[in-house]
Structure 1
């Protein structure tokens, strides 16, 4: 009887302590994939933490569109605010790393914020740290 209690205690210990937590690294991945899908409008950028100036009439019309399939596009507008080109790309999100692949070349960024309304990522360019922020449409 004593051996059966010991075995039962061991089994319960294994079951109770092997259950994972939703707070483990990587649990945000599903939320990021859910939140990123849709259309986003440029809302600002910084260089080394200093806000960049931009022509709000046109620059804000830079748009990103994300599909759940891992496809995305970035639409660029000219000085007259007319769309001039759309780049079709692929994206992946692994933990906090957001990677865009275009014409076989990949560029990775770090997700700073990605929720239902705001998407901000940071990346290194030369010796600078750049961020771009977008608001969900």
Structure 2
């Protein structure tokens, strides 16, 4: 078992939106749920990608649905100017490139004025 801060660090360090990425690993310390003792394991970027894949697919599906239902004038602006990503999910490695590739629309990241989780602040 790991805490929220550790989970956020895993996402930022070895989490990737795109399935085709360079494999990296990270040692993670937590508590073994069977023995109750501290334990260190190694997680891979592919394992993390597979764990978040369903959420990524839902994000992509929601954006597709929104774009399909938006007025033509707005669609033209989006094609010309792109989509601006914000929030914690936008920090996922390769998120901008993956969404740009999937949507055929430029995607950029914009840092919001809200305060990120402490682990996100440490990572950037």
The normalised TM-score by structure 1 is 0.23
The normalised TM-score by structure 2 is 0.25
Structure with the bigger percentage of strand: 1
Please say which structure displays the higher CA radius of gyration. Answer: 1
Compare relative contact order (CA 8 Å, sep 6+) and give the higher one, 1 or 2.
Answer: 2
